[in-house]
Amino acid sequence: MPVFLMFPPGKQREFLILVKETLSCPWKKIIAQSGVSRAMFFNYLNETAQLRENVFLSLCGLANVSSGCYVYEKRNVHIQPECILPSQADPQLAQFIGIVLGDGHIDDHNWQIFVTFHGTLEKDYAIGVKSLMRQLFHKEPHQRNMRHSNAIQLRIDSKRAVQFLMSLGIPAGRRTGNPSNKIPSFVLDKEELLKARVRGLFDSEAGFSHRHHHAVRISIYNKCPVLLPSIRDALVKLGYHVQLKHNCVRLGRTSEVISFFETVLPENMYKLLKYRSWRKTGRVPSTADMQSFLTGSGLNQHHTALI
């Protein structure tokens, strides 16, 4: 049973900074020796996650700091029952993997799966993904509202689920530049799975914008030079004409954009509302328009197309 430490406000961060100053080395080196992922370590540093006792004691030993110098309470966490794994042929799994490839992260140190969303624009979409995660793994995802970054983070704690996704070719840790960070080949053989995977990628990583006049385009963004060609190949296999850029994959033919929304069936309501407004008015709403609409403030004449 893992044990977490509850420090007074500011003291957990103070401890980690003391470790860095004592060792006189960059965070990267400390993180490598802490046994946790970079993302989790900075959650500890920002005090958005409670420090594990074993990590605390390890860092105390590393920096030769006495653990008795700090005041904290211990909290035992009961591990939820292990998850039930979905079928590899389940289109919902293909969709979820697309979401993870877009805005997700796998931590194989703490056995956690994270997905992050915009706190305002994607609030409704996050509710849908939370339900999807619950259906796939039969576990209740943890939700954290990250006020400092206006984000919503969903998390599943499961060694079995992490190992399952990794066995399907989804790499853990930092994925940019990882040669395994691409759409697995088994998905390319089934159109239903391929559409579901592209749906997840679109919902998490894509933009919908004007190209010129009343024409529009879809851009699926990603920094990974391995994943982008994989996305291009998937779209080509679905029959689309695709442009591969250095940071995105684009669909620029208006007829194909319409076909994409009608056949791939995206589920991110923020992007669906932008598409529906364009179909009705010929105008793609700005992010500011969408934010004011979704928060119910500052409604103007353009917002009638979204209702």
Does 181 reside within a domain? no
Domains identified in the chain, total number: 3
Q: Which of 157, 187, 181 shows the shortest CA–CA distance to 169?
A: 181
Does 147 reside within a domain? yes
Of residues 76 and 171, more confidently modeled: 171
pLDDT recorded at residue 98: 93
Domain end (from 76, 102, 122): 76
Does 153 reside within a domain? yes
pLDDT recorded at residue 77: 62
Same domain, 215 and 289: yes
Question: Residue range 15-22: average pLDDT?
Answer: 92
Question: Residue range 129-133: average pLDDT?
Answer: 96
pLDDT recorded at residue 167: 92
Question: Residue range 67-75: average pLDDT?
Answer: 86
In this structure, which long-range contacts are made by residues 13-20, counting pairs with CB atoms below 8 Å and at least 24 apart in sequence?
13/45, 13/46, 13/47, 15/51, 15/56, 15/59, 15/65, 15/70, 16/44, 16/45, 16/59, 18/63, 18/65, 19/59, 19/62, 19/63, 19/65
pLDDT recorded at residue 39: 80
Question: Residue range 44-56: average pLDDT?
Answer: 88
Parent domain of 23: 3-76
Q: Is the pLDDT of residue 71 over 80?
A: yes
pLDDT recorded at residue 78: 57
Q: Quick one: DSSP state of residue 277?
A: H
Same domain, 205 and 296: yes
- For the chain, strand residue ranges (E) read 3-6, 51-52, 73-76, 104-107, 112-118, 142-146, 151-157, 206-212, 215-221, 243-244, 248-251
Same domain, 70 and 124: no
Does 214 reside within a domain? yes
Domain end (from 139, 174, 209): 174
Of residues 165 and 67, more confidently modeled: 165
pLDDT recorded at residue 183: 85
Does 209 reside within a domain? yes
Domain end (from 46, 76, 106): 76
Side-chain half-sphere of 39: how many Cα atoms within 13 Å?
A: 19
- CATH number of residue 60's parent domain: 1.10.260
Does 191 reside within a domain? no
- CATH number of residue 294's parent domain: 3.10.28.10
Does 9 reside within a domain? yes
